[in-house]
Each structure stands twice: as structure tokens, then as C-alpha cells.
């Protein structure tokens, strides 16, 4: 007969890792303490091996990241102009249509992107009907390129064609420029894949009436300091991605005195003021272009593992990393976990879509959710969740923004500058707030929610980084 194991009458238990064990023990009355711990890199031996190969470079990488981080947080974005994409980008090849995310062929595009492309070809007059537009799009005669290849960032489908008006944002610290189309408002809009007559008419009005007035106002009465607006808006409940209510009101506060002085008939000025006043997402374009101008300045720093782009085309999610230049690391786009408008559900949803994750890449959006407790009514969750999301992002970022402060966290700076090595080491994926488009072309927005960047993108970045920089790597 074997001796039975002797245990003290009452166990005191420390549980490490999976919380489920601790929860069960607590349920039966055990005296248990849970330690929230994950093995480095989720215990993945391949990743650990690759990270090991980079460890001799740790100091150099940290230094490079500090350099890239400084470029990112010291950027000084100003709205300096509002022009057509054609005028902003004179080198754009003929018949070019830009789109969100990494490169994608027409046949692989998601429904809402196809819808937006259809609308763009109609808007340009390159096609007369939706059917003609689809034939043209699939003919190979249209040059599709990612917005990001032209320092443009487009929300959702992110389709930008030559006649579309864009905001021109100059990073005064480095002199580089970034662009984003003027926001159309909510509902049935091109960026969510809608392209009916009303959508096109609104775009024409924006291009032909709103843009020239805004251009004239900026040119005549001065550039607009966008960091000043974003810094204030973050103290006013915005996270400058899905909530831009304060920033849009502050932008109107800047523009109204400029616009009212212009020598135009009062009906035109009224309509432009109303366009700014009625659109609580107007500032999104300016937020995105600001972030892009800052991240472009932080790009191309040798040995920096700072993420400079996160973007989705509805089919794939792509990232770029400062020390890897303009190389795309892509993975399949993920479904969004969110709240749907009445009459819609997850089955209707397109996958994660748009260049607007540039805001998270710059430390705003999901990373700044602790600034925006009221936003949970839009994307789901509670104010405590919003704070937790921000808190977790400190574990994967290079630093804290010196200018984007969170009142609810005692004015701590937002977690800023994603380090893809930390993403893998901590096994914590960047969080993104986002709108949800209907999966079919022509419908529009059906909700909003939260999504992670796919781990696979960061794994690919690790492979490229090791190959380029590690001892024995091909391009070291």
C-alpha cells in the first residue's frame, strides 16, 4: 500500500498565468492569489530564438527607437492648404486611384472598397454607370496604389482619385507633408462603399465649394496649428480617431472667424460653416494627416523597431516599421468586435478596413481611449475598459507623449510609438478603434468597434528585422 501524500490542512495557493485555475480554486473557497503572467513571446520558441539573435543589438535598437520616437512626438503638424489630390500630387500617374491599406488587386478588394472605387470612377467621369466602372476597374487600365505610397491616408475604403479635395498638412519640424480627403460626414458615404447619386453630388459639392472656401480661408488668414487642437481635444473626451467631436468644434472655432471674412456671398459661406458645424468627424481627416506627417518623419531610422504604419484594405492588414523602410508586412484582416446599427449584425460586416489606424500608430485612437470614456457608447465596453485598453498599450510602446495627456490618468502622456519587438515579447497586440462597413458595395457604415492588429504582421517584421540586422542576417 502506497503512502498517501500529506498536505497541510489548509493550502495557500499562488496561481501564475491562466486565471481559470485561480477562479475555480476561489470558487471552492481556496485561499488563492492570482499572478497575471504570460511567458515571454507567448512561449513561442521560434520567436524567442529570433529575439535572442537581436539581443546583442538591444542598445542600438533602443537608441534608434528613441530617435524615431523623438521625430514622432516633436512633429509640428499644421493645416497649410486644401487642394485637389491632382494638385497636391502632380506626379500621380494618369488614371490612378489610391486606396487604404497595403497593395491589393481589384479582384481581391473587399466589397466596400469596390463600391468606393466604383464611385471614384463615376466621379472622375471615367465611367458613366456602375457596371461600366466595374468593367473599367477590372480591365487593368486603372493604376491602383496604396494611399500610403503617396503620404496620403484615407479613412475606411480610403479611395482617393485626382479630383478629390484633400487637406494638406505640413510637419513644420521636418518640412514633410501628408494628405487626407475632406470628411464626407456619416451615413451613406464613399469611404464606406456607397456610391449613389447623392454620395457623388455631396463629393462634388465638397470639391467645388467647401474646399475652395477652406483653401482661401487658410491661405488668406493663416495656417492652423493642429497639435494645439489635438492636445486640447484629448482633454475634452476625444481620442481623435472615432471621437473627434471636441477637435471638430475647436477646428470650427479656428475657421469661423477666417471664413466669415471672405468676400463671398453669404449663402456660400453659410453652407461651408454648416458643413463644418454639422460634421463631428470633420477633424478625422486632419488627425490622420497629422499622424501620417509625424510618422513619415519617424520612418527610415536604421535599427528602429518603431511601427510607422498600420493600415487595412479590408482584405489584408499591413504594417511598416521604421528600420525596415517601406516594406509591407501583411496578414489577413480580422473581423471587428463592435456595436451595430439597428438592423445589422456581425454577418453583414466587412473585415477591418482603412488607413485610420495611423492614429493608433501615433498614440491616439485606441491608445488614447482613456481620454474618451463617452466613446464606449459607440464602440462598446465600459469607461473602465477604455482605461484598461490604454493602460495595456504602455507595455508595447517606446514612450509617453509629452503633448497628448490623459486627464483621467493624472495627465500621463498617451502610450506612443509602437515597438513591434515589445508587441511580440509582451504578446500584447495593438488595439484599434474603428468604424465597421457593410461587406457589400454601396451600403455604407453599419457600426463601430474594436479590433487588434494581427500578430502575423509583427512576426513577419521580426523575420525581416533579423534578416536585415542580426549577426549573420543577409542584409546586416
Q: What are phi and psi of 398, to 5 degrees?
A: -75, -40
**How many angstroms separate the most distant Cα atoms in the chain?**
102
On whether the CB atoms of residues 418 and 361 are closer than 8 A, the answer is yes
166-174, 272-280, 303-311, 450-458 -> range binding a second copy (CB under 8 A): 272-280
The residue among 64 and 406 lying less far from a second copy, judged by its C-beta, is 406
Of 363, 365, 364, 383, nearest to 373 (Cα)? Answer: 383
Give least dist CB 134 to a second copy, A.
39
DSSP strand pairing (329-332 vs 316-321): antiparallel
Residue 358 in grid coordinates: 495611423
Scored b (16 or more CB within 10 A) or e, 295-304 reads bbbbbbbebb
212 near a second copy, judged by CB under 8 A: no
The residue among 333 and 450 lying less far from a second copy, judged by its C-beta, is 450
91 near a second copy, judged by CB under 8 A: no
402 near a second copy, judged by CB under 8 A: no
Reported as half-sphere exposure (CB side, CA atoms, 13 A), residue 163 has a value of 16
Give least dist CB 131 to a second copy, A.
40
On whether the CB atoms of residues 120 and 143 are closer than 8 A, the answer is no
Give least dist CB 246 to a second copy, A.
5
- Give the one residue of 81, 170, 254, 425 binding a second copy; rule: CB under 8 A: 254
The residue among 171 and 414 lying less far from a second copy, judged by its C-beta, is 414
The residue among 139 and 263 lying less far from a second copy, judged by its C-beta, is 263
374 near a second copy, judged by CB under 8 A: yes
| Ranges within 12-31 binding a second copy (CB under 8 A) | none
Lay out the site mask for a second copy across 382-401 (x = CB under 8 A, - = otherwise).
xxx-----------------
The number of angstroms, rounded, from the C-alpha of 426 to the middle of its chain's C-alpha atoms is: 21
Can you say whether the dihedral through the CA atoms of 442, 443, 444, 447 is positive or negative?
Answer: negative
252 near a second copy, judged by CB under 8 A: yes
Can you say whether the dihedral through the CA atoms of 376, 382, 384, 390 is positive or negative?
Answer: negative
Give least dist CB 474 to a second copy, A.
51
Residues that bind a second copy (CB under 8 A): 232, 235-237, 245-246, 249-250, 252-254, 256-257, 259-263, 266-267, 269-270, 273-274, 276-277, 373-374, 382-384, 407-408, 410-411
Amino acid at each position: 500500500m502506497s503512502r498517501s501524500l500529506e498536505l497541510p490542512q489548509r493550502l495557500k495557493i499562488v496561481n501564475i498565468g491562466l486565471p481559470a485555475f485561480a477562479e475555480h480554486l476561489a470558487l471552492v473557497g481556496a485561499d488563492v492569489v492570482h499572478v497575471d503572467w504570460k511567458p515571454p513571446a507567448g512561449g513561442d520558441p521560434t520567436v524567442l530564438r529570433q529575439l535572442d539573435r537581436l539581443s546583442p543589438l538591444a542598445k542600438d535598437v533602443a537608441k534608434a527607437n528613441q530617435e524615431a520616437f523623438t521625430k514622432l512626438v516633436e512633429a509640428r503638424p499644421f493645416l497649410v492648404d486644401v487642394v485637389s489630390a491632382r494638385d497636391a500630387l502632380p506626379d500621380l500617374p494618369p488614371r490612378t486611384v489610391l486606396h487604404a491599406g497595403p497593395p491589393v488587386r481589384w479582384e481581391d478588394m473587399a466589397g466596400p472598397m469596390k463600391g468606393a472605387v466604383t464611385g471614384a470612377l463615376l466621379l472622375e467621369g471615367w465611367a458613366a454607370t456602375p457596371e461600366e466602372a466595374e468593367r473599367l476597374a477590372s480591365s487593368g487600365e486603372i493604376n491602383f496604389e496604396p494611399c500610403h505610397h503617396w503620404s496620403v491616408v484615407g479613412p475606411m475604403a480610403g479611395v482617393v482619385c485626382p479630383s478629390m479635395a484633400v487637406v494638406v498638412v505640413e510637419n513644420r519640424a521636418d518640412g514633410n507633408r501628408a494628405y487626407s480627403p475632406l470628411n464626407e460626414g456619416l451615413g451613406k458615404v464613399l469611404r464606406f462603399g456607397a456610391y449613389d447619386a447623392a454620395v457623388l453630388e455631396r463629393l462634388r459639392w465638397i470639391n467645388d465649394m467647401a474646399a475652395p472656401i477652406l483653401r482661401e480661408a487658410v491661405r488668406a488668414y493663416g495656417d492652423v496649428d493642429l497639435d494645439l487642437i489635438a492636445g486640447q481635444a484629448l482633454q475634452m473626451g476625444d481620442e481623435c480617431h472615432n471621437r473627434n467631436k471636441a477637435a471638430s468644434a475647436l477646428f470650427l472655432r479656428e475657421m469661423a472667424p477666417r471664413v466669415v471674412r471672405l468676400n463671398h456671398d453669404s449663402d456660400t459661406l453659410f453652407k461651408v460653416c454648416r458643413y463644418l458645424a454639422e460634421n463631428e468627424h470633420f477633424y478625422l481627416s486632419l488627425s490622420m494627416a497629422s499622424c501620417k506627417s509625424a510618422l513619415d518623419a519617424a520612418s527610415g531610422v536604421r535599427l528602429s523597431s518603431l511601427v510607422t504604419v498600420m493600415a487595412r484594405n479590408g482584405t489584408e492588414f499591413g504594417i511598416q516599421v521604421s528600420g525596415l523602410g517601406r516594406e509591407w508586412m501583411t496578414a489577413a484582416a480580422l473581423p471587428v468586435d463592435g456595436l451595430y446599427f439597428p438592423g445589422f449584425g456581425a454577418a453583414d460586416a466587412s473585415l477591418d478596413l482603412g488607413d485610420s489606424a495611423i492614429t493608433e500608430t501615433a498614440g491616439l485612437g485606441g491608445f488614447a481611449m482613456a481620454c474618451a470614456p463617452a466613446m464606449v457608447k459607440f464602440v462598446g465596453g465600459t469607461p473602465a475598459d477604455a482605461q484598461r485598453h490604454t493602460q495595456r498599450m504602455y507595455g508595447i510602446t517606446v514612450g509617453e507623449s509629452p503633448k497628448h495627456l490623459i486627464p483621467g490618468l493624472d495627465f500621463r502622456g498617451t502610450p506612443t510609438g509602437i515597438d513591434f519587438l515589445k508587441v511580440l515579447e509582451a504578446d500584447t497586440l495593438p488595439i484599434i478603434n474603428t468604424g465597421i462597413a457593410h461587406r457589400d458595395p454601396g451600403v455604407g457604415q453599419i457600426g463601430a468597434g474594436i479590433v487588434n492588429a494581427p500578430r502575423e504582421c509583427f512576426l513577419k517584421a521580426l523575420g525581416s528585422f533579423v534578416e536585415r540586422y542580426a549577426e549573420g542576417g543577409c542584409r546586416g
